[in-house]
Amino acid sequence: MELVDLLTPDGVVAASRASSKKQLLQDLARKAAEITGADERAIFDVVLERERLGSTGVGNGIAIPHGKLPGLKRLAGVFARLEKPVDFEAIDEQPVDLVFLLLAPEGAGADHLKALARVSRLLRDKRICEKLRGSDKAEAIYALIAEHAASHAA
């Protein structure tokens, strides 16, 4: 499973105007609902519940909110680049401007962890993050992610 299996061009938000963590998660849930057909409120609730366990802000301006959703057919992702960073209660206390929401079916144990690892690997690459931050077109952002996935395929 590769990042391009999780993320479609429709799943990229190139210039989110969210001004808070809650608003950002609501926007991501709305976009994920459009892509997956799952209930927007259910997505938001699952992601918010995960955030209550501890922030998914992993540092360096990056967050990877995630959750398992009953009834979801396959792993799905939404990527957002924010116009202005928001406080995400990240581990390094830095605001977040790159976010990859990952949703998995309830029974997707190892696949969910593999997908999280792939997303994490992508967003640990400082060069990729610089390029993602410098791009305000969804097509260009998707192409960067797809290109990275292709060059790092196992």
Chain-centroid distance, C-alpha 51 = 13
| Contact in structure between 71 and 9 (CB atoms under 8 Å) | no
Helix (H, G, I), strand (E, B) or coil at 64: coil
Q: Which residues contact 113 (CB under 8 A, 6 or more apart)?
A: none
Exposed, middle or buried by CB within 10 Å (0-12, 13-18, 19+), for 37? Answer: exposed
In the set 66, 112, 148, 152, the catalytic residue is 66
CA distances from 51 to 8, 25, 87 (A): 24, 10, 13
152 is an active site residue: no
* Cα-Cα end-to-end distance for the chain: 10
Active site residues: 66
